[in-house]
Amino acid sequence: MARMHSPGRGKSGSTKPLVDKAPEWSNADAKAVTELILSLAADGHTTAQIGTILRDQHAVPDTRLVVGKRIGQVLAENDVTAIYPEDMMSLMRRALRLIDHLESNRKDRHNTRQLELTESKIRRLSRYYQGRGQLDTEWVYKREELRLMVE
């Protein structure tokens, strides 16, 4: 979805090496890592932040190699999920920042266009998550109610 509204072609960047087990130097205790994930989620961290904290502070390079599941799957099994998916919430936060910027800079046409594109991505993601059952089918994006939805 990154190149939906831009002229870029293809996919670039590095890929993770194919590894089937955790390295010897890592913290490979699955139960301890699961408890750590749950405690970090209780503190209000997102799944991406939890992964970064596990990597940088607790020597867990890849949660899937240790626990056998993604961080989101561990949280879902323990019923610790957010109201809105993480990618959709970050788009809504971006839209809110753009709206705040446009209140003081009314003639900023570039950011007006970026707000339109961001709202388009939010609507597209909402249809996807409604189809998967992760979002209420009656949910509709409204710019006026955005500040109430973003936590």
Q: Stretch 95-118: mean pLDDT, rounded? A: 97
Q: What pTM did the predictor assign?
A: 0.80
In a domain, 3, yes or no: no
Q: What's the pLDDT at 2?
A: 53
Task: For residue 79, count CB atoms less than 10 angstroms from its CB and return exposed for 0-12, middle for 13-18, buried for 19 or more.
Answer: exposed
Whether 67 and 121 map to the same domain: the answer is no
Domain that holds residue 68: 30-77
Give per-residue pLDDT as tens, 21-68.
888 888 778 999 999 999 999 998 999 999 999 999 999 989 999 999
Whether 71 and 94 map to the same domain: the answer is no
Task: For residue 140, count CB atoms less than 10 angstroms from its CB and return exposed for 0-12, middle for 13-18, buried for 19 or more.
Answer: exposed
Q: What's the pLDDT at 143?
A: 93
Question: What ranges in the chain are assigned the alpha helix state H?
Answer: 30-42, 47-58, 63-67, 71-77, 86-104, 109-132, 146-149
In a domain, 35, yes or no: yes
In a domain, 6, yes or no: no
Compute the distance between CA of residue 134 and CA of residue 130 in angstroms, rounded to an integer: 6
Q: Stretch 6-20: mean pLDDT, rounded? A: 80
Q: How many structural domains does the chain have?
A: 2
Averaged pLDDT score across all residues of the chain? 91
Q: Stretch 101-118: mean pLDDT, rounded? A: 97
Compute the distance between CA of residue 144 and CA of residue 57 in angstroms, rounded to an integer: 40
Q: Would you say residue 89 has pLDDT above 80?
A: yes
Q: Would you say residue 100 has pLDDT above 80?
A: yes
Whether 95 and 51 map to the same domain: the answer is no
Whether 72 and 90 map to the same domain: the answer is no
Encoded tokens for 50? 């939890």
In a domain, 57, yes or no: yes
Whether 93 and 143 map to the same domain: the answer is yes
Angle of the 47-58 helix axis to the 30-42 helix axis, nearest 10: 130
Q: Would you say residue 1 has pLDDT above 70?
A: no
